[in-house]
Amino acid sequence: MSSALTDLFPFPIVQAPMAGGVSLPQLAAAVSEAGGLGFLAAGYKTADGMYQEIKQLRGLTGRPFGVNLFMPQPEYAESGAVEVYAHQLAGEAAWYETELGDPDSGRDDGYEAKLAVLLDNPVAVASFHFGVPTREVLDSLRRAGTFTLVTATTAEEALAVERAGADAVIAQGVEAGGHQGTHRDVPENDGSGIGLLSLVAQIRETVGIPVVAAGGIMRGSQIAAVLAAGASAAQLGTAFLATPESGAADLHKQALTDPLFTRTALTRAFSGRPARGLVNRFMREHGPYAPAAYPEVHHLTSPLRKAAAKATDAQGMALWAGQGHRMARELPAGQLVETLAEELAAASTALSTKGEGERG
C-alpha cells in the first residue's frame, strides 16, 4: 500500500458509500473496526441527517471512516422531457395507488451545508460523486485534515480530478453497481463505459495521484488484480450491500442471488442518471425512453419506488447492483473484510510464487 490514504487503515479495502439508507453507521463501523475503510453516504440526506450519522458512527468506532457527497447538478434536461416522462409513468402511479413525486423537490442536495458540517467536524476521508469540487473546497478540506477522493469514469475525468487538487481518484468501471459518477451526464451518453482493469491502467498512465478501483469486485483475488494494475485500494459496494449491517431492503439483498434476476444494466429509469441495477420490469419498460434529468426523475419516481417496496414488489424497485452480484455473500461485514483480506493475501502469494517460478 503506497498512499497516505491506505496508511489510515490496514487493509486496502474501502466499503463504498451507498446512499438511500444502505451504508448505515453500523455497516461503516463494522468495516472500519475490521481494518477496512467504512463510509457514510450523505446523498439524499439533509446536512443535519449527515451530521447525526457521523455522531452515531463516532460512538461506534474510533477508527477512521469516510463521508461521501453528491455534487450539485447543472440543469440539462430538455425542456418538457420530465413532463413527458411523468405522463408516461401515470399508469405506474395508478397501479401502485400513489402519486408521482414533485420533480422540483431540490437539485443541489444541500451541498454547501454539508461541506460546512465537514469543515466544522472533520472526518478522515471525504469523497465526491457526479463531478469535481473546486480547488478551494478541496484545499479547505485538506487543511481540516481530511483526505479527498473524487470519482472518475474516464482518464479525462481523472485528469480534471487531479487538476482540481484532490488527494486521490476513484476509478469507477462500468461494472459498478449504483450510479456512474460521470461528471456530466448528457442525453447522448449511451451507457457504454470503460471496464475497470482498462480504466485503472488508463488513469494510472494519465495522473500521478493514487487510484482507488471500484466496480464488480467481489473477491480478494480481484482486489489483488486491481492492485497489480496499479490501484492503491479497492472500493466495494455490492459485496457489502448483502451484509446484515447494510440497510438495503431484504428484497434487494435476496434479489442479488435470486436466479430470477439474470443480468444488470445501466438505466436512467429511476433517477434520470445512468445507474446499474438488476434488470426488472420497471427498468425494461421505462429505461428505453427515460430522460437525462437528474435529480428530477429521482424525485418523480420516489413514491413509486417506496410503494413498490411496501408492496414487496421487486419488479418496481431500484435494485442497484454491480455485475458481480451473484457472487454476493451474506457474511457479517467485519467477517467479509477479513475474508477478502485473506483471499487477497492468498492471491498475492500465488502471484509472487508464479512470478518466481517463471523467473526460475
Q: Which residue number, 81 or 153, has a Cβ lying nearer to ligand FMN?
A: 153
Q: Which residue number, 93 or 243, has a Cβ lying nearer to ligand FMN?
A: 243
Q: Which residue number, 81 or 314, has a Cβ lying nearer to ligand FMN?
A: 314
Cβ 180 vs Cβ 273: under 8 Å: yes
Among 216, 220, 274, 316, binds ligand FMN (CB under 6 A): 216
CA-based end-to-end distance of the chain: 27
Does 238 participate in binding ligand FMN (rule CB under 6 A)? yes
* Residues belonging to the chain: 360
CB of 30 to ligand FMN, least distance (A): 17
Cβ 181 vs Cβ 160: under 8 Å: no
Burial class (CB in 10 A: 0-12, 13-18, 19+), 192: exposed
Number of alpha carbons in the 13 Å side-chain half-sphere of residue 230: 20
| Residues 318-347 as x/- pattern, contact with ligand FMN by CB under 6 A | --x-x-x-----------------------
Does 110 participate in binding ligand FMN (rule CB under 6 A)? no
- 71 C-beta neighbours (distance < 10 Å), count: 18
From 80-88, 202-210, 232-240, 281-289, give the range in contact with ligand FMN by CB under 6 A: 232-240
CB of 19 to ligand FMN, least distance (A): 3
Among 68, 73, 182, 222, binds ligand FMN (CB under 6 A): 68
Does 270 participate in binding ligand FMN (rule CB under 6 A)? no
Does 241 participate in binding ligand FMN (rule CB under 6 A)? yes
CB of 235 to ligand FMN, least distance (A): 6
Does 178 participate in binding ligand FMN (rule CB under 6 A)? yes
Among 6, 26, 222, 235, binds ligand FMN (CB under 6 A): 235
DSSP state of 69: E
Return d(Cα 268, Cα 188) in angstroms, integer: 12
DSSP state of 235: E
Q: Which residue's C-alpha cell is 448505515?
A: 24
CB of 196 to ligand FMN, least distance (A): 9
Return d(Cα 47, Cα 189) in angstroms, integer: 31
Among 237, 272, 274, 287, binds ligand FMN (CB under 6 A): 237
Return d(Cα 145, Cα 4) in angstroms, integer: 12
How many residues line the site for ligand FMN (CB under 6 A)?
31
Return d(Cα 41, Cα 27) in angstroms, integer: 11
Does 38 participate in binding ligand FMN (rule CB under 6 A)? no
CB of 349 to ligand FMN, least distance (A): 24
Nearest to 233 by CA among 206, 214, 249, 261: 214
Does 129 participate in binding ligand FMN (rule CB under 6 A)? yes
- 36 C-beta neighbours (distance < 10 Å), count: 31
Cβ 206 vs Cβ 354: under 8 Å: no
Nearest to 308 by CA among 252, 240, 231: 252
* Interface residues toward ligand FMN, by CB under 6 A: 16-19, 22, 41, 43, 68, 127, 129, 151, 172, 175-179, 181, 214-217, 235-239, 241, 320, 322, 324
